[in-house]
């Protein structure tokens, strides 16, 4: 209920393997960008009026490379919305009395851009074996989700071994494509989601009594919606809407947009509505200010067909 979503709560920890600094009490603004894409998620955090000693401790200590951001409400919906590695600090002032430290962070950036694999895999391997081996070289655990890995659903076992030599991300990408799935790095984990499925878990219900803000809108990218900041909304997870709450766009000739892109008419089709009101989350962007107005989650979702649990993009 929306009445349970009051008194904002934030947890901001910068840590190394041996120690941590809790910055939760400071005035903080943040923007988190999470999406079901290969490129790593990003986070921009601005912390106000820290002492020079604390700033120097964070910047000079090269071991403080990781950051975890939790947000929500004291009464509920509190949880992690970003976990990753610090890429850059920036020091500045907004006025004569307000100084700030900007932290730019990325989730799995080093693992994605620099991990290299040089291994062999025995005969009889499956695409999931390749994913596990490549993720291991990246130093990340794997979340397969609802992908079926038994012999009935995966390609036949390979009669020969395979050499894995190259960028680790390339092998994850190819194996995920073989499984008709997408992959991304979410909070330090390699996440594999079926292109026609979703991550396990209950759908987050969004309406006027649970935190939905404004009116959802049908676009060519998906169904766009905004709600009070909710850490339960995850990439690949589900949200439940009332379709009557959505602003719908009607094309003059709907039959001309039955393909992803109509090169002759130059029309981009609109993402369809779900008959059951269930949508898979493809983008979840969190924005917040512990002493300001912003405390929102912006979502782009695609329709899930309740009859066969298939994503309907167009």
Q: Which of 62, 91, 107 is the last residue of a domain?
A: 107
Domain that holds residue 136: 112-186
Given 78, 107, 136, the domain boundary residue is 107
Task: Tell me: do 103 and 129 sit in the same domain.
Answer: no
| Whole-number Å distance between alpha carbons of 135 and 258 | 38
Residue 26 lies in a domain: yes
Instruction: State the total domains in the chain.
Output: 3
Q: Are 81 and 122 within one domain?
A: no
Q: 135, 157, 186: which is the final residue of a domain?
A: 186
Q: Are 245 and 207 in contact (CB under 8 A)?
A: yes
Q: Would you state the pLDDT for residue 126?
A: 84
Do 132 and 163 lie in a common domain?
Answer: yes
Sheet holding 181-186, edge to edge: 142-143, 189-194, 181-186
Give the pLDDT score at 262.
46
For the beta carbon of residue 166, count every other beta carbon within 10 angstroms: 12
Q: Is 53 in contact with 21 (CB distance < 8 Å)?
A: no
Q: Are residues 100 and 116 in the same domain?
A: no
Whether residues 211 and 299 share a domain: the answer is yes
State the CATH number of the domain containing residue 8.
2.40.10
**Tens-digit pLDDT profile for residues 227-266:** 999 999 999 999 999 988 888 876 656 555 554 544 445 5
Q: Let me know: does 215 contact 223? Beta carbons within 8 Å.
A: no
- For residue range 4-35, list pLDDT tens digits in order: 778 899 999 998 888 889 999 999 999 999 99
Residues 100 and 81 in one domain: yes
Mean pLDDT, residues 130-139: 94
pLDDT in tens, 25-74: 999 999 999 999 999 999 999 999 999 999 998 888 777 789 999 999 98
Q: Tell me the CATH number at 303.
A: 2.40.30
Could you read off the pLDDT of 64-113 as tens digits, one per residue? 789 999 999 988 889 999 999 999 999 999 999 999 999 999 999 999 99
pLDDT tens column, 197-207: 889 889 999 99
Same domain, 6 and 82: yes
157 and 84 share a domain?
no
Query: Residue 186: is it exposed, middle or buried by C-beta count within 10 angstroms (0-12/13-18/19+)?
Result: buried
Q: Identify whether 144 is part of a domain.
A: yes
Does pLDDT of 127 surpass 90? Answer: no
């Amino acid at each position: 209920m929306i009445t349970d979503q009051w008194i904002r709560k934030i947890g901001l920890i910068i840590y190394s393997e041996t120690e941590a600094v809790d910055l939760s009490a400071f005035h903080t603004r943040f923007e988190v960008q999470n999406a079901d894409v290969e490129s790593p998620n990003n986070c921009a955090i601005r912390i106000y009026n820290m002492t020079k000693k604390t700033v120097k401790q964070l910047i000079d200590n090269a071991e403080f490379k990781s950051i975890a951001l939790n947000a929500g409400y004291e009464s509920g919906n509190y949880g992690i919305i970003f976990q990753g590695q610090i890429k850059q600090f920036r020091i500045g002032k907004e006025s004569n009395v307000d100084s700030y430290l900007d932290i730019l962070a990325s989730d799995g950036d080093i693992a994605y851009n620099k991990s290299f694999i040089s291994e062999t895999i025995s005969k009889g391997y499956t695409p999931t074996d390749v994913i596990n081996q490549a993720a291991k070289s990246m130093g990340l655990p794997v979340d397969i989700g609802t992908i079926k890995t038994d012999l009935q659903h995966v390609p036949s076992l390979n009669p020969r071994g395979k050499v894995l030599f190259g960028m680790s991300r390339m092998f994850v990408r190819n194996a995920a494509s073989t499984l008709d799935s997408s992959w991304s790095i979410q909070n330090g984990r390699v996440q594999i989601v079926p292109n026609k499925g979703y991550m396990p878990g209950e759908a987050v219900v969004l309406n006027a009594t649970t935190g939905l803000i404004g009116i959802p809108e049908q676009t060519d990218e998906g169904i766009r919606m905004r709600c009070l900041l909710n850490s339960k909304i995850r990439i690949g997870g589900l949200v439940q809407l009332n379709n009557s709450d959505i602003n719908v766009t009607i094309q003059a000739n709907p039959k001309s947009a039955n393909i992803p892109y109509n090169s002759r008419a130059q029309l981009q089709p609109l993402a369809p509505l779900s008959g059951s009101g269930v949508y898979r989350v493809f983008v979840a962007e969190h924005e917040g200010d512990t002493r300001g107005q912003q405390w929102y989650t912006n979502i782009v979702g695609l329709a899930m067909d309740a009859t066969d649990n298939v994503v309907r993009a167009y």
